[in-house]
Amino acid sequence: CDLKDVGESCGINRVHRLMKANGLKSQRGYRKPRAHAGNPAVVATNSLNRQFNPTQPNQLWVTDITYIRTHEGWLYLAVVIDLFSRLVIGWSMKSRITTDLVLDALLMALWRRNPKNKVLIHSDQGSQYTSHEWQTFLKHHNLESSMSRRGNCHDNAVAESFFQLLKRERIKKKIYVSRTEARSDIFEYIEMFYNSKRRHGSNGQRSPLDYEKAHQKMVMCV
């Protein structure tokens, strides 16, 4: 897809042949846990529509779930990200992929941010987000639901990008000894590195926290 976007014409067989000739292999993660597909209960429209660059904090949030492998079994991670700065404002880790997993991440985001106006929060159509419990919680906290189109991961590209960074920069395909070890390492990555130190091109090569501090300072000076 990337080659086609820049005008190069090539087929999958040619790419495979050239990669093999040069000793290259595609990067692969570990096998996904099994999931049972079902019909979504409550589906919202894609109101975000890939508008990933709001001009103020607490306008647009995105949320998603990923999985981390441990020798005790899967550990599931849910995050909430403010698109303004790419700051992870809420997260939750549990051994089961339930609605409580995503609600706890959202509760942390609300506690940290305490938004004064309605916030649009975007997710995929996973069963946790289409549940009546999730939708009721949003209504009670002045949050508006937006959802990716079915099977279109690019509609939630920022959350997907964060998970790719986490797995490429920290997890690196390893299997943690325990869920406790995984929780500790992921906490350190989010709070001690990603939010406070990792530079982003969308932030003018500043970390999410530094970008927000600069914005707050500018607002105070106006």
pLDDT digit string, tens, across residues 171-199: 998 999 999 999 999 999 999 999 999 99
Domain ranges of the chain: 60-221
Q: What does pTM read for this prediction? A: 0.82
pLDDT, tens digit, 9 for 90 and up, residues 45-76: 999 999 999 999 999 999 999 999 999 999 99
Distance of alpha carbon 41 from alpha carbon 54, whole angstroms: 29
Contact by Cβ (8 Å): 180, 172? no
- The least confident of 14-18, 111-115, 158-162 is 14-18
Phi, psi angle pair for 132, to nearest 5°: -65, -30
**Assigned fold of 60-221:** Nucleotidyltransferase; domain 5 (3.30.420)
Q: Which amino acid is at 107?
A: L
Res 6: pLDDT: 46
